[in-house]
Homo-oligomer: A and B are copies of this chain.
Amino acid sequence: MLPALHCPAVHTAESLAREISQWRADGHTIGFVPTMGALHEGHIALVLKAMEVCDRVVVSIFVNPTQFAAHEDLGTYPRTLEADSALLAAAGCHLLYAPSVEEVYPDGFATTVSVEGPAIGLESDARPHFFAGVASVVARLFGQVRPDIAVFGEKDYQQLMVVRRMVSDLALPVTVLGVETKREADGLALSSRNVYLSPAERMRAGRLNVILRDLAHALEDGEPAARALEHARILAASVFDAVDYIEVRDADRLEIVGEGPLARPARVLAAVRVGKTRLIDNVPANPARRG
């Protein structure tokens, strides 16, 4: 058996800056994929996209405490650094940045980046401090890595829109790319939290994407949003232990859309609970398909 590969790694902003400076001196463009580890095929798709568009790629692994609420799974969030490093090496990633909490939040750290607009509602209803945690750590990591391009998954669609908004508002010199969600055969979006699901829960979890796709198709066929949503919500309530939200939003700014047929490209987004696990997913819905 061959020994597991390891991706070259740094653990401090200082070591990271040395690598980045060398790459800059060599004229390389830099891609960046921020993650919380527990990597799966969905993350690797982001890394491969970054490698496609940049000369050098940095992946960060940092389980960011400021985006977890007190009752959430910070303590038990899967941490699989050895396996993650092997996956990144196999994908050809150039550098793993795995800082400690003290490295990211040193003594005296005092800055929060908060976003309204796309961050209002949806995930924020259940997790009011989530996007401030995300935006702040992403801004700091962008400052440390200084990438040309950063890649995020559409799985966390609201997060992608929040990061785009922040980058635009702070005029940060980085291009944000979104990558389509990777799914299991039954449609379940890949997620590090899927490991929490029992076999029976796993069966039910697959229904979320089916319900969202059916909802999107109904909207694309011209059904009024209010009626299509009501149908999807009733169905979801019968399958899941709780439905945090199922909503139709404007695809770009995540503004609430009207109750009638779609007028602009939209996104259908949902969060549901299966046992103790919270699942999120989203799919596009375009009015263009009609007629």
For the complex formed, measure the closest distance between the CB of A181 and the CB atoms of chain B, giving whole angstroms: 24
Collect the chain B residues with CB atoms within 8 Å of residue A108's CB. 117, 165, 253
Stretch binding the partner chain, chosen from A70-78, A168-176, A282-290: A168-176
Q: Among the interface residues A112, A140, A142, A253, which one has the most CB atoms of the partner chain B within 10 A? A: A112
Residue pair A110, B169 in contact (C-beta under 8 Å):
yes
For the complex formed, measure the closest distance between the CB of A120 and the CB atoms of chain B, giving whole angstroms: 9
Copies in the complex: 2
A238 within 8 A of B: no
A116 within 8 A of B: yes
Residue pair A111, B171 in contact (C-beta under 8 Å):
no
Collect the chain B residues with CB atoms within 8 Å of residue A116's CB. 110-112
Neighbour of A110 across the interface among B115, B140, B172, CB < 8 A: B115
Neighbour of A13 across the interface among B119, B171, B253, CB < 8 A: B171
Given contacts A165-B111, A253-B108, contact A146 B118 (CB under 8 A): no
A35 within 8 A of B: no
A143 within 8 A of B: yes
For the complex formed, measure the closest distance between the CB of A217 and the CB atoms of chain B, giving whole angstroms: 29
Docked pose: A110 CA to B118 CA in angstroms: 8
Docked pose: A119 CA to B13 CA in angstroms: 25
Chain B: CB-nearest residue to A169: B111
Q: Among the interface residues A111, A146, A253, which one has the most CB atoms of the partner chain B within 10 A? A: A111
16 A-B pairs with C-beta separation under 8 A: A13-B171, A108-B253, A109-B169, A110-B117, A110-B118, A110-B119, A110-B165, A111-B114, A111-B115, A111-B166, A112-B113, A112-B115, A113-B113, A139-B170, A143-B171, A143-B172
Q: What is the interface of chain A, defined by CB distance below 8 A to chain B?
A: 13, 108-119, 135, 139-140, 142-144, 146, 165-166, 169-173, 253
